[in-house]
Amino acid sequence: MATSAAEYLERSVPGRHPDLPETTSGTLRLDIHEDGHTEHWYLTIDRQNVEVTRSAEDADLVIRANRDVFDRLAAGHRHIASALLTNELTAQGNLRLLMSLRRIFPGPPEARHPREFARTRGGRP
């Protein structure tokens, strides 16, 4: 895979995310498991700004999964809701923040915004 979850969290997540609703605020902790070890990533969302640190502090939402699951999320090869529904990850706390995380992680590499698709096809079927 091109991007690991750690690389994505360090490089792409911190900063402003205009896709997030302006009213979104809260904290998320991502617990990434691998070989009996857990990495903790702490995301603070304040309106459309996201800060990323390494911390095991309590958070409004805690998401746990294996490294492979988080790597696939970071690469856009797995959707967070489908990973939750298939028990590849667990979430505990404010589940509304889960949808915010969905907007922070990328979509599939071949996906395009509907408006972009309509422009390139000229709005024709």
Q: What is the pTM of this model?
A: 0.81
| Per-domain residue ranges of the chain | 5-120
> pLDDT tens digits for 68-115?
999 999 988 888 989 999 999 999 999 999 988 888 887 666 655 566
| Residue 8: burial class (beta carbons within 10 Å; 0-12, 13-18, 19+) | buried
Which is more confidently placed, 115 or 63?
63
Q: For the structural domain made of 5-120, what CATH number should be given?
A: 3.30.1050.10
111 CA to centre of own chain: 16
> pLDDT tens digits for 48-60?
999 999 999 999 9
Q: What is the pLDDT of residue 29?
A: 98
